[in-house]
Amino acid sequence: MFNFTANERKFEIRVIDNGVFRFRMANGCDFAESLLSRYNILKESGEIDADQAENDSSFTVTSNGVGLIVDKSTGSLTVTGTKKPVTFDFDGYKGKEYTNRGFSISVTLTDDERLFGLGDESRTSIARRGTFSRLDIRNIASYGPIPFIMSSNGYGILLNCTYAHTFDIGKSESDRMLIEAHKGTIDFYLFVSTEHKLADILDLQAKVSGRPLMMPKSFYGYTFVLNEQTNAREMLWDCLMFRREGIPCDMVGLEPQWMSKHYDRTIDKKFDDDRFYIPGWLPQNQSGPETFFFNLRKMGFKLSLWLCQDYDLLYEEERQAGELAKKLNKEYTFEGASILDEHLACPNYQDWVTKRDEPWFEHLKKFVDNGASAFKLDGAWQVNDHPDRIWGGKYFDDEVHNLYPVLYVKQMMQGFRDHTDGRRAMIYTPCMYAGSHQYCASWAGDTGGGYDTVVAMLNYGLSGHTNVTADMEATIPEGIHYAFFMPWVQQLGWRNWQQPWFMGEELENMIRYYSRLRSALFPYIYSMAHKAATTSMPIARSISLMYDDPKYDYVTNCYMFGDSFLVGVFDMNVSLPEGRWIDFFTGDSYEGGKNIEYKVPEGRGGALFVKCGSIIPTMEPCDYVEKFKGDKYTVNLYHGEDCDFELYEDDGLTYDYLEGAYATTNMSLRHDGDRLIFSLDKREGSYDGRKQREGDSYKLSDPVINGMGVIPSFTVVLQTAEAKRVTLSGKEVPFRTENGKTYFEISSDEHKGELEYTIEI
């Protein structure tokens, strides 16, 4: 840590990691503490060594090719190691005697500089230069502002501030980005990629804001949220219909009707006795054969429950920070009072919901015991301002408003994990801010699944958040196609009856096709989710993130779905990046680097292309993804460029993967003239299963967690050529060709070591 004072200003620079810095400045007073830091949402792993130099005019910190130079007279900061040096100028609004009266940060922009990020603050463009943004959570208008922006100049900024603030990104002054807040202090993290790559900056910011979580396996399947009028029997019948109709589905969700009191924001909620009856002689956390939870499990369905709340979460955060306990035990005295009336002895809180000594999650434990494995967190009332609330007995609402949704998902995730001995929860919310992605998933809120939600999804991806979706527009083919190629899939019933079998033959068949395709692609999708969890490269990626070219900065109808798929949605003027692409639906081949007018095949809702130079593992579609045992994969090869793939496997239900409990199988495809070399390495790593926990027999919902199964076998399909010969270490391998494709088998016995196949085409 480097601390120095110049011209009555205090400065602090921390070098947290290679390319990761924290910069703070105060006008002659102590540094104020951001609640994002106080509550351990933005985390620092420590500090690394760096060089410093000081002279009469400047103070310099240098680390691994990046320099931070502070001008002592003006307080300005110049950063080197970027493509071109960037300068930050600072101004505090009220002078040195105040610690929290706002700031202004002015950042120089180069002529060709491009900027991305800020989350779901605006749905007009993924290119942010020339725009003005207010980062303040608002229902519908601004569900997920994230104070992170990154530049093609090779740097990113994460503002450590919870107060509402604005980004003027070259709108008022074309060569300046102006960041302003009327409260808060100058405190931000700086991420610098000396390679000047956007992907590197995304990776660096996760060292502070956290990695996206691996959600449970079922999360990456298909979630159907039922109509508000649904009762237990109707829910079970719909689940049965999904199975009978051969439409893979993993989770059903209940809207507010599951509660005895509609929109119950208290900790006294329970299942409605008429619609979702639990026998009164049983414990309320029962999940045995006498309850509908038992039948859901038998059919392989997970259960999601809708929640709203207005609880004061900051008491729990303060307890966790260890600073509020003594204040809560304050003694009140009646000595000298004229009226000795004890019911007037204590404060009268306007907040009538919160029990200040009880965490919010405590009352939800019984529903987890019932079998709830997911919670949908409605915007109510976390998007609302609370102008009369003193949060935790000490913080005003303007400091807490943006932070509150982060604390909500943090306590939900941690509460579920602790209560279930380390299981993953599917917690999803429309409201996001800095650090939320390390605790939850999100959906686009009450805005449907139309075209503008594509921008929201891609802007989240450019801000470090991957587990995002929007409600399926199931009445149109375009909406179905789009929904099944988001990182996760949610169809919302709420006030409609859009079960596939009620939608007419065309749409029902389309949902069946896409849900089965989604199920087949699960090994690919889950491996991409792991890549996001380790590198912050999102599942759904703007083309600019994959192909660093300004001509793609305004493309919002196409995006990459993982490493290999390009998805076109709504507008079929499709931008194909450089390279060769295969139409997944028709097998037609296209040369990239241009736009095409795509004709959607019958029974489909949009475009889907595969990059030549791809390895895509698939499985047989299952009723639900947890049914898949990992014993048989199909490996689809699309030749054209050398490529690699890492197949990822874990138990799908616990956080053990964070401790290294997972397995990977690496594959590669190399080109050698008319020969293709396909290599399949042996599986590395392992993970254990878990038996159902003993005791507490009512917890029949506690799942048996499978460990690593048998060594899988593989069917290899060369999708792009009919081979003349296939050999393994010079020995002939049986194969067959059909419709321009080549097929051969790899048994589990063969796959005990590293294999290298030569395919002559």
What distance in Å separates the CA atoms of residue 12 and residue 80, rounded to the nearest whole number? 18
pLDDT single digits (tens) 564-598: 999 999 999 999 999 999 999 999 999 999 999 99
408 pLDDT higher than 90: yes
> pLDDT band for position 95 (50/70/90)?
very low
What distance in Å separates the CA atoms of residue 253 and residue 426, rounded to the nearest whole number? 12
Amino acid at 282: L
Q: Is 723 exposed, middle or buried (0-12, 13-18, 19+ CB in 10 A)?
A: buried
337 pLDDT higher than 80: no
Which of 380, 447, 404, 411 is closest to 164 using CA atoms?
404
| Average pLDDT rounded to a whole number, residues 332-344 | 42
Which of 560, 604, 613, 612 is closest to 582 using CA atoms?
612
Tokens for 195? 């390679």
pLDDT at res. 117 = 98
pLDDT at res. 8 = 86
| Average pLDDT rounded to a whole number, residues 68-75 | 96
Tokens for 442? 């999100």
Contact by Cβ (8 Å): 44, 36: no
What distance in Å separates the CA atoms of residue 203 and residue 198, rounded to the nearest whole number? 9
Residues in the chain: 761
pLDDT at res. 338 = 41
| Average pLDDT rounded to a whole number, residues 501-521 | 98
| β-strands 675-680, 731-732 pairing | unpaired
Q: For all residues of the chain together, what is the average pLDDT? A: 94
What distance in Å separates the CA atoms of residue 355 and residue 372, rounded to the nearest whole number? 23
325 pLDDT higher than 60: no
**Lowest-pLDDT range, 25-34, 130-139, 422-431, 628-637?**
25-34
750 pLDDT higher than 80: yes
Domains and CATH numbers, the chain: 2-209 (2.60.40.1760), 217-332+343-535 (3.20.20.80), 615-760 (2.60.40.1180)
pLDDT at res. 99 = 59
279 pLDDT higher than 70: yes
What distance in Å separates the CA atoms of residue 359 and residue 391, rounded to the nearest whole number? 14
Contacts (Cβ under 8 Å, ≥6 apart) of 49:
15, 63
Contacts (Cβ under 8 Å, ≥6 apart) of 93:
101, 102, 103, 104, 182
What distance in Å separates the CA atoms of residue 557 and residue 573, rounded to the nearest whole number? 8
Amino acid at 483: A
What distance in Å separates the CA atoms of residue 501 and residue 681, rounded to the nearest whole number? 44
Question: Torsion over CA of 184, 186, 189 and 195, rounded to 10 degrees?
Answer: 140
328 pLDDT higher than 50: no
Contact by Cβ (8 Å): 563, 574: no
CA neighbours within 13 Å on the CB side: how many for 569? 32
Amino acid at 574: V
Contacts (Cβ under 8 Å, ≥6 apart) of 690:
651, 654, 704, 705
pLDDT at res. 479 = 98
Q: Is the omega angle on the peptide bond into residue 381 within 30 degrees of 0, that is, cis?
A: yes
> pLDDT band for position 324 (50/70/90)?
very low
Which of 559, 479, 406 is closest to 37 using CA atoms?
406
Question: Torsion over CA of 600, 603, 605 and 608, rounded to 10 degrees?
Answer: -60
DSSP output for 401-461? TTTHHHHHHHHHHHHHHHHTTSB--EEEES---TTGGGT-EEE--TTTTSTHHHHHHHHHH
Query: Phi first, then psi: what are they for 582, rounded to 5°?
Result: -110, 130
Three-state SS for 19? Answer: coil
Contact by Cβ (8 Å): 202, 536: yes
What distance in Å separates the CA atoms of residue 249 and residue 621, rounded to the nearest whole number? 11
| Average pLDDT rounded to a whole number, residues 125-144 | 97
Which of 522, 447, 459, 454 is closest to 492 using CA atoms?
447
Rounded alpha-carbon distances, angstroms, from residue 673 to 279, 414, 639, 642, 677: 71, 54, 12, 12, 10
367 pLDDT higher than 90: yes
> pLDDT band for position 97 (50/70/90)?
very low
pLDDT at res. 386 = 95
pLDDT at res. 347 = 61
Which of 116, 154, 122, 152 is closest to 135 using CA atoms?
122
123 pLDDT higher than 80: yes
| Average pLDDT rounded to a whole number, residues 336-346 | 45
What distance in Å separates the CA atoms of residue 482 and residue 450, rounded to the nearest whole number? 9
What's the Rg (C-alpha) of the chain?
A: 27
pLDDT at res. 331 = 43
Which run of H or of E encompasses 156?
A: strand 155-159
Count of C-beta atoms within a 10 Å radius of residue 257: 18
What distance in Å separates the CA atoms of residue 331 and residue 260, rounded to the nearest whole number? 38
**Lowest-pLDDT range, 338-352, 544-558, 643-657?**
338-352
pLDDT at res. 327 = 47
pLDDT at res. 346 = 56
402 pLDDT higher than 60: yes
pLDDT at res. 371 = 97
HEC-encoded secondary structure of 676-707: EEEEECCCEEECCCECCCCCCCCCCCCCCECC
Contact by Cβ (8 Å): 502, 227: no
What distance in Å separates the CA atoms of residue 506 and residue 244, rounded to the nearest whole number? 18
517 pLDDT higher than 50: yes
